[in-house]
Amino acid sequence: MADETIGIVGAGIVGLATGREIALRRPGTRVVVFEKEQRVAVHQTGHNSGVVHAGIYYAPGSLKAELCVRGVSLLRAYCQERRLPYQEIGKLVVAVREDELGRMEDLYQRARNNHVPDLRRISKDEIREIEPNAGGIAALHSPRTAITDYPAVARRFAEDIVAHGGEVRLGFPVSSLTDVPGGIEVGSGEERVRVDRLILCAGLQSDSVARLARDRGDPRIVPFRGEYMLLRPDRTDLVRGLVYPVPDPRYPFLGVHFTPRVDGSVEVGPNAVLALAKEGYRLSDVSVRDLARLAAYPGVWKMAAQHWRTGIREYRGSLSVAAFMSRAGDYVPGVGTDDVVRGGAGVRAQALDPDGSLVDDFRIHRVGRVTAVRNAPSPAATASMAIAEHIREAVFANAGDPA
């Protein structure tokens, strides 16, 4: 349908990439992005570590695997075209114990199936050639893994939307979604904006916004806070590139790792602790409403029964710098509490099914005129431009029939 207005809820990198994709590929379509904050990329995008993932971790055939690999090429080209930071500093995925070698080999085969470029197995001696201060007995080396500045990318996406006749409406918290003939009315307080179709990219608030659209109740968003340490400026030379652990497949988070940033700083972390508010960036941030909704969801209690030991370990690291850094020392021996200061924190919107399963893959579905992104964890920033293509195809699959 020509001359449509497409609404997008959420001005994080996925929402903005989607708005840009539609504005560029659908001439005559007007895009309006609704964002409750006063600037774009405030939450997950604004707290992202900046890693451009190569596609090592994701199950072959999954949306994550497909869209990550496609997204890397699109993002690299965009950053080069717009002169945005894009540095291929490489990544080591390091095994520090014999019992991790089998998992590392499985990871290697998975990455090969995902066509990760130039990935190779390396020995203990080769680790030291690449990262002189790193520990480990073997590793995978991904030289094409990169870092970028995702908030800067998101701001450019917003500029592209406006340049193609669209609008990014800041300070517009969506409070109602109402079906009207031929479209949807998006409400914020007393203000109403009519759109023909709506895309929900609300991140931490995705389940709440989906409720307004009368979408199904699950998966539910569980907020996990990831806290970081920063290497002191005189210790940033401890690592040259990214140094990661071999992930434990029983848990969706990667564990403590070393992440150089484009500004020259180096993060150590994150841990992963249950946040007490959806936007709970500090230990003291508590939302009674968010906690009540979590407590009422059966999946939360089933998840807790499965992962309570891991939760205790992660909280110990949150409260004690020494406990936090004890894990980091496995990968860079000798690094300790004197080498770091407390850094920032981010909150990950982790989708949870009623059976307590932490949703791993992207979940995107369409209900009538609404297309909802219900789960978009890492590598969503890496894959954002490919996710945008996928959403555009989903939204306009039957352009003449929004139902």
Q: Are 91 and 55 in contact (CB under 8 A)?
A: no
Instruction: Tell me what pLDDT residue 1 has.
Output: 47
For 312, how many CA atoms within 13 A lie in the half-sphere containing its CB? Answer: 4
What is the spatial distance between Cα 134 and Cα 328, in angstroms, rounded to a whole number? 10
pLDDT tens digits along 335-377: 999 999 999 999 999 999 999 999 989 999 988 999 999 999 9
Instruction: Tell me what pLDDT residue 108 has.
Output: 97
pLDDT tens digits along 288-334: 999 999 999 999 999 999 887 888 888 888 889 998 998 899 999 98
Instruction: Tell me what pLDDT residue 249 has.
Output: 73
How much of the chain, in percent, has pLDDT values that exceed 90?
87
- Nearest partner of 54 among 39, 77, 79, 71, judged by Cα: 71
pLDDT tens digits along 119-139: 999 999 999 999 999 999 999
Cα 10 to chain centroid, rounded: 14
